Amino acid sequence: MLTTRQLIDAILSRCPADIDRLEWLARQLDGRQNVQRRIARLDGDERRFRQELSAQLKVIEDQKENVRSTCGHYDTTYHGDPAGGSDSHTSCNDCGKTWEGRGP
């Protein structure tokens, strides 16, 4: 992050020669603050959106779990750990529920 002096020097280094430097600096600093405010507002919007989305996804996941609880899990597939370890699982081909190991 630049110091105040470094920031001013960086801004003034881009100032066209035929423009009042102080007025140009003030406009550039105002523009910079405007960008920062807009980004902060968008960051807040993004956080709220992610929270709302997370809540909606939780509702959907709960609904899916309710549907899965009504499934008989008659058609399942066992997925062994290819490395021979303990990461095997069984999944229901109808509702997608998974269990560690051999399942129900």
Stretch 78-90: mean pLDDT: 85
b/e string for 81-98 if b means 16 or more Cβ within 10 A?
Answer: eeeeeeebebbbeebebe
**The pLDDT of residue 83 is above 90:** no
pLDDT band at 92 (very low <50, low <70, confident <90, very high): very high
Query: Looking at beta carbons, which pairs linking 18-27 to residues 24 or more positions away fall under 8 Å?
Result: none
Q: What is the rounded average pLDDT for all residues in the chain?
A: 93
**The pLDDT of residue 36 is above 80:** yes
pLDDT given for residue 84 in this prediction: 76
Distance in angstroms (rounded) separating the CA atoms of residues 83 and 91: 19
**The pLDDT of residue 86 is above 80:** no
pLDDT, one tens digit per residue, over 42-59 is: 999 999 999 999 999 999
